[in-house]
Amino acid sequence: MQLIIKKQVKQLIDVFIRNNGVVKSLPAFCFLLLFATNVPAQKAGIWNTYTTDSGLPALSIERSFIYVPETKWMYSHHPHIAVFKNNFIAIWSNGMIDEDAAGQRVVFSVSKDFFHWSAPEALALPSAFDEKSANVLTAAGFHRFDDTLVAYYSEYSPQRTHTQLWAKISSDGLHWSGPLDMHVPVAPNYGPQVIANKRLIISGNFTFIYTDDPRGLTNWKISSFYPDSLYKEDNPAAFYKPAERINLPPLCEASFFQTDDGIIHSLLRVTGKGWKGRLWLTESKDNGSSWSFPSETAFTDNDSKFHFGHLPDGRFYYVGSPDTLHHYERNPLVLAVSKDGWIFNKQYIIANSLYQLKKKGLWKGGQYGYPHTIIDKGYMYIIISRQKEAIEVIRFNLDQL
């Protein structure tokens, strides 16, 4: 029943947009407004119990800086980490000074022991935009199948248009293929996650792309909680307009987990003037083919990217910055654990030390930015950017939980 209603709402929105915002069916438009303002996601009860870091247990961690710039390539962000053939491999977006500026590249670094990392090498370089400037690349995560590692990255113009998703493959994590076009106009938030039916889903800002190709290289399809008529691409600037058109705050940078009932729960960051310190929720009951209308949760957020996942014992976890008292400081970095996927009521401090910024740049800031997590051999690994300048990796033994 809910899917039928959602399809009707999408049709109504499509008609409304095609009519250039002119209301030609008052009852239908009233129904749309009623749905958009009063119908929540299937269960918006996901919440955490974080208030402040006072009294929270601190995890015993090990940490290592992968990259700290000296005089050039001073912007580093969007980090991802993988374990492949006995090596740790990290990728991230790397620019000269400012965030997502023309010429931004994607680099990678490798370590055998977690503590010592190779000097960054270019995984991908942007193509030319015009005679004077280049396009922008952002790192988009990893996927491993058989003896192959896939690294994804997105490309778009300095005007945040003409978005493309690319991939490169490697058999050793050191040498990479040429670019492979994924044929979707999406800049991902994370690399593919495998759900219960083996489908791969990539979280974007407001889109979710999915494929049943286990390699993650072909047949990607796009779904969203927005009607198709509201967007043409998904990148770091494209999420504002569709939200405005249907009176939602700017929703972006999704991360999801799936519960035993098959429902996929995706949390969304709110940024800009719409930030009120809470994540929003959209859900899918059909393996990512469609998504419910988003609604606000009681899960606190500092205005940053975050990462959800599963612990080996079946519990769910969140890693991010849930503090709402110091907007955008992205400190401390917190682990929250839940038994049921609804109440994240066990909180731990992962890290709260400060990194001193070396060179100011556009939108540079935030102590623990954009965490990505993996679990390997009893440890959780968390890669983060520090003030969008340096890249650090942290690990801790799961026995502490």
| Domains identified in the chain and CATH numbers | 1-39 (no CATH), 41-81+181-400 (2.115.10)
Per-residue HEC secondary structure of 146-163 comes to: CCEEEEEEEEECCCCCCC
Q: State how far the Cα of 222 lies from the Cα of 238, in Å rounded to an integer.
A: 15
Binning the chain into helix, strand and coil, the percentages to the nearest 5 are 10, 40, 50
Helices (H), 239-328: 240-245
CA distance 157 to 162: 6
Q: Contact 120/135 with Cβ under 8 angstroms?
A: no
Torsion of CA 125, 128, 133, 135, to 10 degrees: -60
Question: What residues contact 244, with CB distance under 8 A and at least 6 apart?
Answer: none
Element (H, E) at 15: helix 2-18
pLDDT tens, residue order, the chain (401 aa)? 344 344 445 444 444 444 444 443 443 444 344 444 434 444 468 999 999 999 999 999 999 999 999 999 999 999 999 999 999 999 999 999 999 999 999 999 999 999 999 999 999 999 999 999 999 999 999 999 999 999 999 999 999 999 999 999 999 999 999 999 999 999 999 999 999 999 999 999 999 999 999 999 999 999 999 999 999 999 999 999 999 999 999 999 999 999 999 999 999 999 999 999 999 999 999 999 999 999 999 999 999 999 999 999 999 999 999 999 999 999 999 999 999 999 999 999 999 999 999 999 999 999 999 999 999 999 999 999 999 999 999 999 999 99
- Looking from the CA of 293 toward its CB, the CA atoms found within 13 Å total 22
Q: Give the model's pLDDT for residue 44.
A: 61
The set of residues, in sequence order, having a beta carbon less than 8 Å from that of 133 and lying 6+ positions away, is 102, 103, 158
Residue 338: name the closest of 314, 304, 305, 303 by CA.
Answer: 314
Q: How many residues does the chain have?
A: 401
pLDDT of res. 26:
40
Could you tell me the end-to-end alpha-carbon distance of the chain, in angstroms, rounded to an integer? Answer: 40
User: For residue 31, what pLDDT is reported?
Assistant: 38
Angle separating helix axes 26-38 and 2-18, nearest 10 degrees: 120
Measured between alpha carbons, how far is residue 286 from residues 46, 95, 265 in Å? 20, 39, 12
Give the long-range contacts of residues 240-246, CB within 8 A, separation 24 or more: 240/272, 242/206, 243/206, 243/274, 245/17, 246/13, 246/36
Contact 341, 323 (CB under 8 A): no
Cβ 67 vs Cβ 81: under 8 Å:
no
